[in-house]
Amino acid sequence: MRILIAEDEPRISRFVARGLKAHGYTPTVVEDGITALDYASSGEFDLLVLDVGLPRMDGFAVLRALRDMGAEIPVLMCTARDSVEDTVHGLEGGADDYLAKPFRFEELLARIKLRARERTGGTTQPTQEILELGDLSLNLRTRVATVGTGAQKREVELSSREYALLALFLEHPNQVLTQEIILSRVWGYDYDGASNVVVVYLRYLRKKMGADRFITVRGAGYKLVDPRES
């Protein structure tokens, strides 16, 4: 799936492009509205992630021009403007979806996957609802984590960031995740690189679920394991 990203903030465009590449998409970045209109109307892209506040030609004007010329490319508008008026303006102007900044990459990815399912007639595989590794599980719908089995089974209360971090590890069991991957997937483009936030939140998860589940691989990153198989 070829995705055009129209975004003039390099830190955001790099963050989005890197995440999309990691999930098998082919992103192309443009930084102004006129170039976005030219590329989006070429017929070479499957979806446009369109920021409203673009130089030379704003996102609403790009969207209007695309629809006036009959271009049917799906458009996901991405903007810091989250008022009802802006949302209505975008959707009534022909946008297929609307996402307010700041956003987590997983939310953007979910919107893109929805558009992909619509294009293929809903033939893509359904999203897995429960992630498990050994006696540790996480329900993605209810956001409830459980640890243990039988009479020892217990629910674990998670903050939103702890949930996102645990979900990432459970999506990649027994795999080493670098700090850069964790930061980009869980904290996104608003992350302050000077902090030790990954270490802090891993400490929280270790305290709640057991230190032997989360392994530090020196010089490489961290991985989630089933301690009963270690």
Res. 52: pLDDT tops 80:
yes
* Residue extent(s) of CATH 3.40.50.2300 domains in the chain: 2-119
pLDDT at residue 210, rounded to an integer: 92
pLDDT at 204 exceeding the cut of 90: yes
Tell me: pLDDT of 218 over 80: yes
Residue 124 has a pLDDT of 46
What tokens appear for 68 in the block?
């006036």
Q: Does domain 2-119 have CATH number 3.40.640.10?
A: no
Buried b (16+ CB within 10 A) or exposed e, 123-137: eeeeeeeebebbbbe
| b/e map 71-84, b = 16+ CB within 10 Å | bebbbbbbbebeee
What is the percent of the chain with per-residue pLDDT over 90, rounded to a whole number?
45
The reported pLDDT for the residue numbered 179 is: 86
Provide CATH 1.10.10.10 ranges for the chain. Answer: 130-229
Contact 51, 75 (CB under 8 A): no
pLDDT in tens, 85-106: 665 565 666 788 888 877 778 8
Sign of CA dihedral 152, 129, 187, 99: negative
The dihedral built from the CA positions of residue 98, 103, 105 and 110, taken in this order, carries a sign that is negative
From 50-54, 75-79, 220-224, the region with the lowest mean pLDDT: 75-79
Residue that the structure tokens 């670098």 belong to = 178
What pLDDT is recorded for position 123?
46
Q: Which is more confident, 70 or 90?
A: 70
Q: Mean of the pLDDT values across residues 28-53? A: 94
Write down the pLDDT at residue 203.
95
Mean pLDDT, the chain, integer = 85
pLDDT by residue (tens digit) across 108-140?
A: 888 888 877 666 554 444 445 788 999 999 987
Q: What is the mean pLDDT of residues 22-31?
A: 91
Task: Read off the DSSP letter of residue 67.
Answer: H
Over the Cα atoms of the chain, what is R_g? 20
Supply the pTM of this predicted model: 0.57
Nearest to 91 by CA among 114, 110, 67, 116: 67
Helix (H, G, I), strand (E, B) or coil at 94: coil
Query: DSSP 3-state assignment of 195?
Result: coil
Write down the pLDDT at residue 94. 79
Fold for domain 130-229? Answer: Arc Repressor Mutant, subunit A (1.10.10)
Span 19-25, mean pLDDT? 85
- Counting residues of the chain whose pLDDT is more than 70, the rounded percentage is 85
Rounded CA-CA distance 126/117 in Å is 10
> Please, which residues bridge with residue 29 across strands?
5
Q: How many angstroms separate the first and last alpha carbons of the chain?
A: 39
Count CA atoms closer than 13 A to 121's CA, side-chain side: 0
Region for 134 from its dihedrals, namely left if φ exceeds 0, alpha if ψ lies in -120 to 50, beta otherwise: left
Residue 192: what pLDDT? 57
